[in-house]
Amino acid sequence: MIRSDKRRGRVIGVLMLGCTMVWGTGCKKEQAVAPVAIDAGMAAVAVRDAGSQDVGMVARVKKPLRFSDVKLATNRYRVDVTYTLTNPGTAQGRGDACLSLHDDQGLVIHQAKLGGITVKGGTSDTFEDRVDVNEAFWKQTRTVLLYTAEAYDCSSGVSKMTSERFQLLPTGQPAPAGTPAPQAPGSSTAADFAVSNIQVSQEGSSDNYSATYVVKNLSTRRVSGRGCLRAYVAAGDRFLEEVRVGDFSLRPSGSETITDTIIFEDDKHWDEVKVLRLFISPYGCADEVDAENAGITFDKPAGIHAPVEGVDADGEVELDPDNNDAVVDVPDEAQDPVDDHGGDEPYSDAPEDTGH
Least confident of 65-74, 124-133, 287-296, 311-320: 311-320
CATH architecture of 1-185: Sandwich (2.60)
- In CATH, what class is 190-299? mainly beta
What average pLDDT does the chain have? 79
Size of the chain, expressed as the number of residues it contains: 356
Distance of alpha carbon 181 from alpha carbon 175, whole angstroms = 10
* Band of pLDDT at residue 245, cut at 50, 70 and 90: very high
pLDDT at 40 over 80: no
Q: Where are the alpha helices (DSSP H) in the chain?
A: 135-140, 351-354
The residues near 311 (Cβ < 8 Å, ≥ 6 apart) are 204, 205, 206, 317, 318
Q: What is the pLDDT of residue 323?
A: 57
Q: What is the pLDDT of residue 111?
A: 94
* pLDDT tens, position by position, 189-216: 889 999 999 999 999 999 999 999 999 9
Distances (CA, A) of 276 to 64, 241, 243: 49, 10, 11
Tell the burial category of 227 from Cβ atoms under 10 Å away from its Cβ (0-12, 13-18, 19+). Answer: buried
Q: What is the pLDDT of residue 351?
A: 41
Tell me if 1-185 shares its fold with 190-299.
Answer: yes
Least confident of 33-42, 98-107, 169-178, 278-287: 33-42
Whether the Cβ atoms of residue 121 and residue 108 lie closer than 8 Å to each other? no
The residues near 129 (Cβ < 8 Å, ≥ 6 apart) are 6, 7, 80, 81, 82, 97, 114, 115
Q: Where are the alpha helices (DSSP H) in 133-219?
A: 135-140
pLDDT at 4 over 80: no
The residues near 270 (Cβ < 8 Å, ≥ 6 apart) are 202, 209, 264, 300, 304, 305, 306, 307
Distance of alpha carbon 194 from alpha carbon 280, whole angstroms = 8
The residues near 34 (Cβ < 8 Å, ≥ 6 apart) are 17
Q: Which of 8, 6, 10, 7 is nearest to 124 (CA)?
A: 10
Question: According to the per-residue pLDDT averaged within each range, which of 42-56, 139-153, 309-323, 332-346 is highest?
Answer: 139-153
Number of C-beta neighbours around residue 128 at 10 A: 18
Please give the share of the chain, as a percent, with pLDDT higher than 90: 60
Distance of alpha carbon 258 from alpha carbon 229, whole angstroms = 13
* pLDDT tens, position by position, 48-89: 333 333 434 456 778 999 999 999 998 878 999 999 999 999
Break the chain into its structural domains and give their ranges. 1-185, 190-299
Mean pLDDT value of segment 237-243: 96
pLDDT at 295 over 70: yes
Q: What is the pLDDT of residue 140?
A: 93
Q: What is the pLDDT of residue 100?
A: 96
138 Ramachandran zone, left/alpha/beta (phi>0; psi -120 to 50)? alpha
| DSSP conformational letter for 234 | S
Q: What is the pLDDT of residue 58?
A: 52
* Band of pLDDT at residue 285, cut at 50, 70 and 90: very high
* Band of pLDDT at residue 301, cut at 50, 70 and 90: very high
* pLDDT tens, position by position, 131-168: 999 888 999 999 999 999 999 999 999 999 999 999 99
Note the pTM of the prediction, 2 decimals.
0.68
pLDDT at 334 over 80: no
pLDDT at 169 over 60: yes
* Band of pLDDT at residue 290, cut at 50, 70 and 90: confident
Distance of alpha carbon 85 from alpha carbon 347, whole angstroms = 74
